[in-house]
Amino acid sequence: MGSTITGTGSYLPEKILTNADLEKMVDTSDEWIFTRTGMKERRICPENMASSDLGAEASKKAISDAGINPDEIEMIICATITSDMVFPSTACIIQNKLGLDNIACFDISCACSGFIYGLELARNLINSGQYRKILVVAAECMSRVTDYTDRSTCVLLGDGAAAAIVSYCDDEYGIIDSYLGSSGKYGNLLYVPAGGSRLPASHETVSGRLHFMKMEGSALFRIAVNAMSDAIKKIFERNNVNPEDVSLLIPHQANIRIIQGVAKLTGFPMEKVFVNIEKYGNMSAASVGVALDEAVKSGRIRRGDLICMVAFGAGLTWASNLVRWGKNG
């Protein structure tokens, strides 16, 4: 008995924030952003929408792609660090937007690694025999925690959502294995200081801009390259897999130079690495899911292909998985 991805979907808000737009907001340049990150533009959520709206749209597409009735879904796992509210969970809000009721719904907070963590949770719950169809959705409005006066972070982030239907299967296709890791000692390299129980919202937290993301970029850069490369090597070793066996590597899209560094350290030619960073920037948990959906829909993944996803983010957290793609088209 195993579990496989039977449908994917993604949703990107229409509004585009280009490097040229950012040049008018902070002291930066298209040249700096593109050469240092590989990004050209990113999507921004409209004021009247939140993460659950993006997540619900992506989920509808995944449900339709899987060709299932929404009522067949038994659980919703939402990966987000930009939940609509402190509580209830964004998964419960998405459930309501999908017209579902009486199923298990909860959020997970693993930042950029969240989609892979969610898939792994779904895989194990399905393999336990208790569930047959789980919706994993990653939805992020990173623009809501971005300080558009801080050039070191505001050029990097975008909004979007992705979803996957993980289903019971009894053939050789599906999610084979995942490797998950984290290191809380580096939590101070990437975080939003206020808005939780440590520093609830106050005039001081607002005036101190403490509801926005703080990041130590260059320290993170080094750890990201090593942690993602290590996550790939570990999952390959455990499953006796080589880069030649894998058709496509789908990495988190935080920086093209991180992706190139990981590809080099793990022996992947860039032709076998999926990159869409120029269009969307870093969408945290949604990045890997959107990349997976685009890779499938553009024909870069076919039935029988072995693919590897890998991510790294706040926590710090990291994750990799191996999937033998089982869906046609």
The catalytic residues are 112, 252, 282
Residue nearest to ligand UT7 (CB): 217
**Of residues 294, 281, 282, 288, the one with CA closest to residue 40:** 281
Q: How far is the CB of 110 from ligand UT7 (least distance, A)?
A: 11
Which span sits near ligand UT7 by CB under 6 A: 11-19, 80-88, 130-138, 216-224?
216-224
User: Between β-strands 104-108 and 75-79, what pairing exists: parallel, antiparallel or unpaired?
Assistant: parallel
Binding mask 272-301 for ligand UT7 (x = CB under 6 A): ----------x-------------------
Contact between residue 193 and residue 145 where contact means Cβ atoms under 8 Å apart: no
C-alpha separations of 156 from 41, 84, 180, 260, 297 in Å: 9, 21, 25, 17, 25
Contact between residue 62 and residue 7 where contact means Cβ atoms under 8 Å apart: yes
Binding mask 63-102 for ligand UT7 (x = CB under 6 A): ----------------------------------------
C-alpha separations of 323 from 108, 129, 249, 274, 279 in Å: 21, 20, 11, 15, 25
Please give the residues from 174 up to 193 whose contact with ligand UT7 meets the rule CB under 6 A.
Answer: 190
Residue indicated by tokens 């053939």: 171
Q: Is 255 in the site for ligand UT7 (CB under 6 A)?
A: yes
Quickly count: other Cβ atoms within 10 Å of residue 157's Cβ.
Answer: 26
Q: Is 116 in the site for ligand UT7 (CB under 6 A)?
A: no
Residue indicated by tokens 């390259």: 225
Please give the residues from 131 up to 170 whose contact with ligand UT7 meets the rule CB under 6 A.
Answer: 151-152, 155
Residues engaged in binding ligand UT7 (CB under 6 A) = 28, 32-33, 36-37, 112, 151-152, 155, 190, 217-218, 220-221, 224, 254-255, 258, 282, 312-313
